Amino acid sequence: MRKNNNAVSIIVPVYNEEKSLNPLYKRLLKVLNKNFPDWEIIFVINGCTDRSSDICLEFSRSKKVRVIKLRKPSKSLALDSGFKQAKMNYVATIDADLQDQPEELPKLFKKLKKDKLDCVIGWRKNRQDNFEKKLLSSFFNLINRKISG
C-alpha cells in the first residue's frame, strides 16, 4: 500500500468493449489527474475476442496503467484478479461500457473519507440496458443492500 492517503486503484473488467475503451480511458485520465495525486488503472481483460486487449495494451505504455489477461470471461474472476493486484490505499471498480460515469468517482471517494466508511457503492437509476441486464443488476443491488445493511 502507498503512504499517500488519497492513492486509488481503478479496476476495469473488460469484455469485448473496444468501442468504449478510448472514451472511458480519456475520461478516467481527466478525473484521476484532477482529483487524485496518486493512482493506477488496472484493465482486466477476460476472454475478449475483439480488439479490447490490444487497446488496453496501448494504454499500458503509461507506468500508471497495467493489464491483466484472463482466458475465460468472468466478471467476478476479473474483479478478484484486479483486487489482488491493486497497490493503492483505496480501490474502485468501474465497468468499461460507460454506463457508469467516471466523473462520479470523486463524489464517492469524498463520501467514503468524510463518513469514514469502509465501502461505498453507487449505481445509476436510468441505465440504458436491456431487460435481462436490468433484472440482473436489480438482483445484485438487492443482495448488496441486504449484505451491507
Domain 8-116, CATH: 3.90.550.10
Helical residues (DSSP H) of 9-130, grouped into ranges: 18-35, 52-59, 75-85, 105-114
Give me the residue spans of the domains in the chain: 8-116, 119-149
pLDDT at 104 over 60: yes
Element at 128 (helix H, strand E): none
Give the tens place of pLDDT for each residue, 30-71: 999 999 989 999 999 999 999 999 999 999 999 999 999 999
Residue 121: count of CB within 10 angstroms of its CB: 11
pTM of the prediction? 0.81
Phi, psi of 69 (to 5 degrees): -110, 125
pLDDT digits (tens, 9 = 90+) for 70-96: 998 889 999 999 999 999 999 999 999
